[in-house]
Structure 1
Amino acid sequence: LLNLLPPTLHTRKVRKSIDSWIIRWPSICAILLEMDYLAHSQFPEASNHLGEPFVKRLRYIQQKFSDS
Structure 2
Amino acid sequence: MPSASARTGNTKKRPAGTDTLVRKAEAAATGLLDQSERVLVVYDEGGATLYYESDDAEDGIGRRILPRAS
| TM-score with structure 2 setting the length | 0.30
More contact order relative to length (CA 8 Å, sep ≥ 6): 1
As a proportion of its length, which structure holds more strand? 2
- Return the index of the structure with the highest Cα Rg: 1
Instruction: Determine which structure has the larger helix proportion and give its number.
Output: 1
